[in-house]
Amino acid sequence: MANPKDDPEYDEWCDPDNPRKVKYEDILAASRRMVGQVIRTQCPRAHMSEKLGLDLYMKQEFLQVTGNFKERGVRNTLMLLSDEQKKYGVISASSGNHGAAMTYNAAKLNIPCLIVMPEQAAIAKIVNAERPGAKVLLHGKNMAEAKRFAMTTAKEKKMMYVNGYDHPNVIEGQGTIGIEILEQLPTVDAVLVPCGGGSLLAGVAIAIKHLKPDTEVYGIETDKTCSMVESLKKNERIFLPIDSSIADGLAVNRVGVNTFFNLKGLVDKMVVVKEDWVARAIMHVVEEEKFVIEGAGAVGVAALMAGLFPNLKGKKVVVVISGGNIDTTTFGRALERGMAAEGRLVKFKVSISDRPGGLAELCGMLAGIGVTLRDCVPERVCVKEAIFNVQFKVICETRGWDHTKELVDVIKKHYKDYLFQDINEHPEKSSTAKRGPCLAPNPVCMQK
């Protein structure tokens, strides 16, 4: 029988036949080791507390130098390398936050570092990871191929492959966030943690359950990235195909060996939030807290906004805002989707007179009720309307559902042929369909 250790992808630190128990004492040692090495991020009370009906605090990990918490796990791992390993260096496959955290920290500690990204990696991600003294190499059509190449190179060049979500020292480093949260807010009732491969959730849960076991710890995934929920349901690490996600930091097909082993039975509940809510959370955090966060960092806020935690009303809750690295295109799309989901961007078609003054009349009507015209495209060919009519595809901005209803009423009153699109939460049907965090039907929750 073939020896699994001969497989180039075998990683002695993340061995399915020998998962490693991560101990609180090692997280405590990491937190002492890393004083002055990573930023002790603040955890202030959020302005959104009142709207959400709880005492909400945000652990602002997007304030780390590379804009995310991954620096903690990486720094801890690098500091624990033997002198010999420091000479050979470290390697990983990542086109996200882990890669940037690796090159930054390795460069700081003068440790050779190579990050492998797929050939198609976005330029922004390549640039984000490039640092003097550390290399980014493009190889393979996808992450699986990049990872295989990185692990083969690790063995050839005696570099250490650092799994960004499963190496035990990485999990210990992420766990230091749990210790800090309890130092900053000793009376916290619950902590909400984003979950991808699981290092952040496992580390935080181990620390918090050791120090204050009555604090509830929840893991949050999106409906497109729920590999941990599916694995826990089946009690094995399943492979979940993932297309794309607004929370790309959570897009891990198969969760870690060590993370799965450590967080099973420790986390109170896994909760899955729909991606629409993540876009809305990104938008509300910008509007109400005044900072920019990425999808993976927004899932805790999204779950609260989506009404998935009725049990936390009036409680003291910390959400870990794990990162702020969102590219401008995704950010723009998230804002637009968030606005559309809240009835603040409305799309409709309307047939109006093509004679002088027809369009002016429509614009005047919109201006009269304070609606902003965002886009307006005429369609004269292949339309069935009267010969001197023109159909316009219109996109408008409103203040929310009530204002949208006013717009619908005005258009209905003045025009015969119109069609409103994607108004799926009609104000008359839902008393909660207003601007601002509101409650939605409960998507998927899972008990431990």
Ligand X SMILES: Cc1ncc(COP(=O)(O)O)c(C=O)c1O
The residues binding ligand X (CB under 6 A) are: 68, 70, 96-98, 165, 194-201, 249-250, 252, 294, 296-297, 322-323
In the complex with ligand X, the residue whose CB is nearer, 194 or 338, is 194
In the complex with ligand X, the residue whose CB is nearer, 192 or 433, is 192
Separation between Cα atoms, residue 10 and residue 26, nearest integer Å: 24
Separation between Cα atoms, residue 61 and residue 177, nearest integer Å: 9
Q: Residue 188 is encoded by which pair of tokens? A: 């916290």
At 224, phi and psi to the nearest 5?
A: -100, -5
Given a contact cutoff of 8 angstroms between Cβ atoms, the answer to whether 311 and 218 are in contact is no
Helix 199-211 to helix 24-33 angle, to the nearest 10 degrees? Answer: 100
Min separation Cβ 208 and ligand X, Å: 15
Min separation Cβ 361 and ligand X, Å: 49
In the complex with ligand X, the residue whose CB is nearer, 57 or 260, is 260
Q: What is the DSSP string of 289-342?
A: I-----HHHHHHHHHHHTT--GGGTTSEEEEEE-B----HHHHHHHHHHHHHHT
Min separation Cβ 171 and ligand X, Å: 8
In the complex with ligand X, the residue whose CB is nearer, 246 or 440, is 246
Min separation Cβ 114 and ligand X, Å: 19
Phi-psi region for residue 340, left (φ > 0), alpha (ψ -120 to 50) or beta? alpha
In the complex with ligand X, the residue whose CB is nearer, 68 or 105, is 68
Min separation Cβ 228 and ligand X, Å: 8
Instruction: Find residue 320's DSSP bridge partners.
Output: 59
Helix 24-33 to helix 70-79 angle, to the nearest 10 degrees? Answer: 90
In the complex with ligand X, the residue whose CB is nearer, 323 or 437, is 323
In the complex with ligand X, the residue whose CB is nearer, 54 or 171, is 171
Min separation Cβ 242 and ligand X, Å: 13
> CB nearest ligand X: which residue?
323
Min separation Cβ 141 and ligand X, Å: 21
Min separation Cβ 436 and ligand X, Å: 25
Residue closest to 255 by CA, chosen among 243, 267, 264: 264
The residues near 104 (Cβ < 8 Å, ≥ 6 apart) are 65, 66, 71, 131, 134
Min separation Cβ 35 and ligand X, Å: 22
Q: In what order do the strands lie in the sheet with 90-93?
A: 134-138, 113-117, 90-93, 160-161
Residue in this structure with the two tokens 């986390």, named with its chain if needed = 267
In the complex with ligand X, the residue whose CB is nearer, 194 or 427, is 194
In the complex with ligand X, the residue whose CB is nearer, 77 or 97, is 97
Separation between Cα atoms, residue 240 and residue 225, nearest integer Å: 8
Could you count the other beta carbons within 10 Å of the beta carbon of residue 51?
A: 16
